[in-house]
Amino acid sequence: MFDATKRTASDIKEMKIRGAGRIARAGASAMEDFAESYRGSSLEGFKKDLDSAKDILLGSRPTAVSLWNGVQACLKDVDKASSLEEARGSVVRNAKAFVETSNNAVDAIAKIGAKRVEKGDTIMTHCNSSAAIGVIKEAHAQGKDIKVFATESRPWRQGLLTVRELSDAGVDVTLIIDSAVRMVMKDIDKVFVGADTVTSNGSLINKIGTSQLALAANEERTPFYVCTETYKFSPMTIFGDIVEIEERDCGEVARPEEIPKGVKIFNPVFDTTPAKYIDAMITEVGMISPGSVYDVMVRQFGDIILKMRDNK
C-alpha cells in the first residue's frame, strides 16, 4: 500500500528530488497518488493509513518545512469528511491546489524580485534555488543585461545545476568555489538566495554557506534578498520549536580512504542566517521585511496555527 509513497520518500532522501519547493510539490503529489489509489473500505482506516503515509514522507528530509506544509495542505479537509470518498476527494483536490499554488508562487516571486534588479547588475546566488533562479531569469528576459556569480555548493555541487540552467537561458554566468564568496562580493550588486525554512523571527535556514554570503554582503553593504514562497514559513517556530538542521553522510565530503584514522567529519546541510542580515523576503504575497514574517504566517496558516496552539 505504501510502496509508491516510500519511493517518493526515498527519492527525496537520496536527493533525486531536491530543493524545498520541489520536495513540497513531490510530497503533495505523493499524498494525491496515495488517496487516489487507496483500496481500503473505511474512513477510519483511510485516516490511519494517510497518517502513516504522511509520516513516511516527513521522515525523508527534516529541515525543509515546505514538505510539512505541502503535506499538511493536502490533509486540511480530511477531518470534515463524512465518507471515505469525500476524504479521498479532498486530499486529491487539495494536493492539486497546493502544487498549482506553489508553481504560481515561484512565477509571482520572479516578477516581484526582477523589479529589484537594475540594468547591468552583477548578482550572486548560492546552491540551486528555483525561486532565486526564477528572479534572475526574469530579469534577464527583461533585457537587464546582468551577470551572475553562482557558488559551487559543496559537497553536492548543486551550483553546477544552477550554472547550466542560467547559461541555457542565455545568462552570463560564472561558477565560483564556495570559499571565493568573500573575495567576489566586492563586485556584487545584489544577492538572491532561496529558502528551505523561514522562522517566525525572520531568520533564514538555507543551504550551508548561505550565512557566509549574508555576512560578506553585509560587510560590503550589498543587498541580500531571500526568495521564498510563504509555505517555507515554519508555523512550529511560533511555539518555540527549533528547526532541525539535517546532517548527511560523511561519505559526501570525502572518500573513506582519504580520511586519516581518527579524523571525524561533520556534514551539516543547512545553516541559519539571522534576520538582521536580510534586506527583504521576496514572497508571492509581496516583498516583506523579516520582521513581518510572523504576521504573514498568521494570515496564511491561521487555522493550522490555532490547531497547533490548542495541542501544545
Catalytic site positions: 127, 196
# residues contacting ligand RUB (CB under 6 A): 18
CA–CA separation, 305 and 148 (whole Å)? 39
Query: Distance of CA 297 to CAs 51, 126, 157, 165, 202, Å?
Result: 24, 25, 32, 31, 11
Closest CB to ligand RUB among residues 35, 71: 71
Question: Quick one: which of 90, 94, 206, 218 contacts ligand RUB (CB under 6 A)?
Answer: 206
Question: Quick one: which of 194, 202, 209, 290 contacts ligand RUB (CB under 6 A)?
Answer: 194
Closest CB to ligand RUB among residues 127, 280: 127
**Least distance (Å) between residue 275 CB and ligand RUB:** 17
Question: Quick one: which of 131, 135, 185, 214 contacts ligand RUB (CB under 6 A)?
Answer: 131
Stretch that binds ligand RUB, among 30-38, 73-81, 136-144, 191-199 (CB under 6 A): 191-199
Return all residues near 111 (Cβ < 8 A) that are at least 6 apart. 138
Of residues 186, 137, 128, the one with CA closest to residue 157: 128
Helix (H) or strand (E) holding 193: strand 190-193
DSSP state of 166: H
Does 113 bind ligand RUB (CB under 6 A)? Our answer is no
**Per-residue string for binding with ligand RUB, 14-43, x by CB under 6 A?**
----xxxxx---------------------
Does 235 bind ligand RUB (CB under 6 A)? Our answer is no
Burial of 250 (0-12, 13-18, 19+ CB in 10 A): middle
Does 70 bind ligand RUB (CB under 6 A)? Our answer is no
User: Are 179 and 92 contacting, i.e. CB atoms less than 8 angstroms apart?
Assistant: no
Return all residues near 296 (Cβ < 8 A) that are at least 6 apart. 230, 233, 283, 285, 288
Question: Quick one: which of 60, 94, 129, 200 contacts ligand RUB (CB under 6 A)?
Answer: 129
Of residues 151, 177, 180, the one with CA closest to residue 166: 151
What is the b/e burial string over 276-305, where b = at least 16 CB atoms within 10 angstroms of the residue's CB? ebbbbbbbbbebbebebbbebbeebbeebb
Does 207 bind ligand RUB (CB under 6 A)? Our answer is yes
Stretch that binds ligand RUB, among 34-42, 76-84, 129-137, 304-312 (CB under 6 A): 129-137
**Least distance (Å) between residue 102 CB and ligand RUB:** 9
Strand 224-227 relative to strand 190-193: parallel, antiparallel, unpaired? parallel
**Least distance (Å) between residue 206 CB and ligand RUB:** 5
**Least distance (Å) between residue 269 CB and ligand RUB:** 5
- DSSP letter for each residue of 78-115: GGG-SSHHHHHHHHHHHHHHHHHHHHHHHHHHHHHHHT
Question: Quick one: which of 65, 95, 114, 127 contacts ligand RUB (CB under 6 A)?
Answer: 127
Does 137 bind ligand RUB (CB under 6 A)? Our answer is no
SS3 category, 76: coil
Does 281 bind ligand RUB (CB under 6 A)? Our answer is no
Binding site for ligand RUB (CB under 6 A): 18-22, 127-131, 156, 158, 194-196, 206-207, 269
